[in-house]
Amino acid sequence: MKLSFRRLLALAAVFAIAFVAVTAIRTWNSGGSLRTLLPWLSKKSGDFHPLQVTWPEKAPLDLGDVELLSRLNNEYAKLTEAVVPSVVSIDTVGIGREQGIDIFGQIRIRDYPTQGQGSGVIVAKEGYIVTNHHVIAGSQKIKITLHGEKTYDATLVGEDTLLDIAVLKIDSNETFVPLKLGDSSQAQVGQIVFAVGNPFGLGETVTQGIISAKERSLSDTQRDLFQTDAAINPGNSGGPLVNLRGEIIGINAAIFSRDKEKPAFQGVGFSIPSNDVKDALFQILERGKPIRGFLGVKLNDLDQRSRAILGYQEENGVLILNVFQGSPAQSAGLQAGDIVRVVNDEKIHSTTQLLSLLQRTKVGTVINLDVWRKGKSLKISATIAEAGVANPAIAVPANPTAQSRTMTPDEAWKALGITVRDLEPAERAGGFQGVLVTSLTDDGIAKSRFLPGDLIVTMNNSPVISANKFRIDLSAFAAAQDTTLNVVREGQLFRALIPALPRQQ
């Protein structure tokens, strides 16, 4: 062996011995064992002996020590067992439609398949189900999955779009297990409730909480809702909110979430009271549609600006923007510009309150109104009619022409005469959302309603997300119906109404 190679081996050996020695000293000083350094010193796996362990023989408490909690636990389980078999999962298949702008700036419409998922509850042994209208809206096929994973097809019997209720019938002659609709007027803030449904399609889920508040409203047409902290998530819609007796006191309808793209429960959920659901259910089963009271007025809440213009300084009251031709309101003598202050001794503070009152009033009932008109107080009586029956609000114009048509989206946008832009990142960082008005044409309809710099935050009670979507939606809405926009100007929020654009010849 060459001398140079032997020297190399000697150096390697010295280095290895030094490394092992230093590592051993460090391990020993740190309190470690040389077995970790020299695995061959460890016992073989066959030499391992079981370790001695002493396990506790009993729980810290007897059930007698927590008797109340033990009974409560058993009763929660008993209630769940009784309720869950009546709650169903709903899967839908439909066709969606979306608008977009092509490379030439023209608005295009395309159809695409959609799938939906929600919950429902059986309310009659014949297989009638109550759910939310938005769960089945636009569906071409509805499938029901019962407790136990048995599936059926279902048929839509009727719907109440304003209340957000739909009634389905299971396509079977079998007998099913229903839940009783309770009396929601007896519900109290603070009482214990349970929400049952199929969040995220996971299957039967029960959450417990309390009624946090009553008489909440999410829109001008939505009746008063229960607010609850029982966890409600996407997929829970249409499921029941039950009391301690297992009675339905509400139908879960919505949640409050600041994240509109990925909504999730944040401790605030909303349910439609069972008495309202019961009214709609019975009407749909009897007549195939809900029956609502109709007065024939277009309303608007009063703000500081409108109060100053009208010279009206009282706190309560709702402004009549328009009276429909041939309506009970016109027959009673109501006029645009009137302010409704009191109805049947009930002070009116908002359009939501008045609309709810009118819708709940039975057809044929005479209501007494206290109206303010140009500084004078008037007493007016009106007879409530049935909404949708020869309703002038949706009737054909008095002198229709066979050639008349609604404006195209491009024509509507030009007639509106408004330009908007998205908010800059710095503007969004301030907590604002919506689109900013940048310019208005002199001959446009928007000219008299907006100013450059106005921030438009909602359209028909839905948040405004982007300038592009705002253009598409406003063009479509304005061409067919009245459109309500909530606007922020110099820190003040007000409502702007854009009437349906005139039809073209």
CATH number assigned to the domain comprising residue 338: 2.30.42.10
By DSSP bridging, strand 240-242 and strand 248-255 are: antiparallel
Tens digit of pLDDT for each residue in 55-66? 888 888 888 888
Mean pLDDT for the stretch of residues 408-428 = 82
C-beta of residue 114 within 8 angstroms of C-beta of residue 65: no
Q: How far, in Å, CA of 408 to CA of 43, rounded?
A: 87
Tens digit of pLDDT for each residue in 463-505? 888 888 888 888 877 877 778 888 888 777 778 888 878 765 5
Catalytic choice (89, 119, 133, 134) = 134
Phi, psi torsion values for 377, nearest 5 degrees: -100, 130
What average pLDDT does the structure give for the chain? Answer: 80
Residue 89 counted as domain residue:
yes
Mean pLDDT for the stretch of residues 376-400 = 64
Concatenating the DSSP letter of every residue in 211-250 gives EEEEEE-SSSSPPPEEEE-S---TT-TT-EEE-TTS-EEE
In sequence order, which residues have a C-beta less than 8 Å from that of residue 485 and are 6 or more positions away? 456, 458, 459, 495, 496, 497, 498
Q: What is the pTM of this model?
A: 0.57
Q: How far, in Å, CA of 277 to CA of 159, rounded?
A: 11
Q: 189 and 273: one domain?
A: yes
Q: 188 and 264: one domain?
A: yes
Catalytic choice (91, 160, 164, 473) = 164
Confidence of residue 269 (pLDDT cuts 50, 70, 90): confident
Residue 24 counted as domain residue:
no
Residue 445 counted as domain residue:
yes
Q: How far, in Å, CA of 434 to CA of 459, rounded?
A: 10
For residue 290, which of 126, 137, 385, 165 has the smallest C-alpha distance?
165
Q: What SS3 class is residue 261?
A: coil
* Upper half-sphere CA count for residue 425 (Cβ side, 13 Å): 0
237 belongs to the catalytic site: yes
pLDDT of residue 217: 59
Residue 247 counted as domain residue:
yes
Confidence of residue 46 (pLDDT cuts 50, 70, 90): low
Q: CA 475: distance to chain centroid?
A: 24
C-beta of residue 403 within 8 angstroms of C-beta of residue 417: no
Residue 204 counted as domain residue:
yes
Q: Which residues make beta-bridge pairs with 462?
A: 459
Q: 306 and 261: one domain?
A: no
Q: How far, in Å, CA of 122 to CA of 176, rounded?
A: 8
134 belongs to the catalytic site: yes
Phi, psi torsion values for 301, nearest 5 degrees: -70, 155
Q: 123 and 191: one domain?
A: no
Q: How far, in Å, CA of 278 to CA of 284, rounded?
A: 10
86 belongs to the catalytic site: no
Work out how many domains the chain is built from and give that number.
Answer: 4
Residue 263 counted as domain residue:
yes
Q: 189 and 253: one domain?
A: yes
Q: 365 and 427: one domain?
A: no
Instruction: Report the CATH number at residue 152.
Output: 2.40.10.10
Q: 206 and 244: one domain?
A: yes
Residue 399 counted as domain residue:
no
Q: 93 and 149: one domain?
A: yes
Residue 66 counted as domain residue:
no
Q: 300 and 366: one domain?
A: yes
Catalytic choice (184, 212, 237, 327) = 237
Q: Tokens 């290895």 — which residue?
A: 16
Specify the range with the lowest mean pLDDT, choosing from 17-26, 157-166, 204-213, 343-352. 17-26
By DSSP bridging, strand 297-301 and strand 293-294 are: unpaired
Dihedral of CA 479/357/381/318: which sign?
negative
Q: 163 and 96: one domain?
A: yes
Q: Give the end of a domain, one of 118, 140, 170.
A: 170
Q: 304 and 380: one domain?
A: yes
Domain with 474 in it: 409-498
Q: 267 and 214: one domain?
A: yes
Helix (H) or strand (E) holding 456: strand 455-459
Torsion on CA atoms 286, 288, 290, 295, rounded to nearest 10: -100
Q: Is 1 exposed, middle or buried (0-12, 13-18, 19+ CB in 10 A)?
A: exposed
